[in-house]
Structure 1
Amino acid sequence: MSNTIQAGTWSVEPTRSTAAFSVRNMIFKTVHGRFPIVSAEVSVGADGVPRSVTATLDAAGFSTDHAKRDTHVRGQDFLHTDAHPELTFRSTAVVPQEPGTWLVKGRLTLREVTSEVHLTVRAEQNGDDTAEVVATTVLDRRAAGLGYGPSFLVGRKVAVQLDLTLHRSSEHSV
């Protein structure tokens, strides 16, 4: 595996990728869950640095494997998935860190609220047209528009980890 990514347009393989999160619940318990990934695309320049990153998650597919909680979170108090079925991310800047690692700054839109998000991203290319990417961040759920409930019932900070398998399109130019 290489620590650089070749130039081109890279798209997510949703069935081999996950968008997971964890949040404290009632002070002492951590709840883990996930969102299905609808799409994600990374455009990489000739220098091996991503130029743009976009992603869409399926809010209605939110799951913690607890039916009652999942129904509540999909409802109007939190995600309101009937009116807002997707979460979207669009990068605003990509800052190279060390080889194969970037700070991706961007905007997350959730329930028509757009908030600033910074992701730490590490990518490794496998072969010519496949890459494995891990992106992490910590979201402030209130800043992201999810203000329901006191912080001792539902933690304010949400840890997010994206584990993605990307494939480069057959057209390798950007």
Structure 2
Amino acid sequence: MNVVNERDADWFRGIYARHYPDVVRYGLRRLDGTAAAEELAQEVFLVAWRRRREVPARTLPWLYGVGRRLLANHWRAERAAPPPLALLDVPDRDRHDAVARLVDVRAALARLPEDDQEVLRLVAWEQLAVREAAVALGCTVTAAKVRLHRARKRLIEQLRDEPATPPARIGGTR
């Protein structure tokens, strides 16, 4: 049986059921709100259905690549920079250091160029291997490794520039 015959509605329902939550999470990390992330996921799967003959066996990295291109086209059409990552609300002064550090990391990530942000998100948030991230980015594995290495260095530099602020003590001194 050839690929065309195998890529029927049952095939599509299978990849949709398996990867829809992953694609929505991908959108949630890049867009404001659940509705926008779900709309992106619907567009990604529409492209997957239309181009089902081209979808590789490892579908998730390919779907992330489609999502990435859809977002880039959307942002280009608006002629605006991609929206910055939504930061957590300013933590209360009695929050743990981990919350403050997370805010610092997200702020440092937002200051990086979009290409750096994307390779870091794909590997860290989407938990893709570098080989899979290369598919999503549309580049070679070697190029993805270089991009990831450079992005990590720039993120570390940003974090050094903005050290984590320890939470202030409430109620005076010890």
Asked if TM exceeds 0.5, the reply is no
Structure with the largest fraction of helix: 2
TM-score bracket, normalised by the shorter chain, equals: under 0.3
Based on CA coordinates, which of the two structures has the bigger radius of gyration? 2
Structure with the largest fraction of strand: 1
TM-score normalised to structure 2 length: 0.28
TM-score normalised to structure 1 length: 0.28
Greater relative CO, 1 or 2 (CA 8 Å, sep 6+): 1
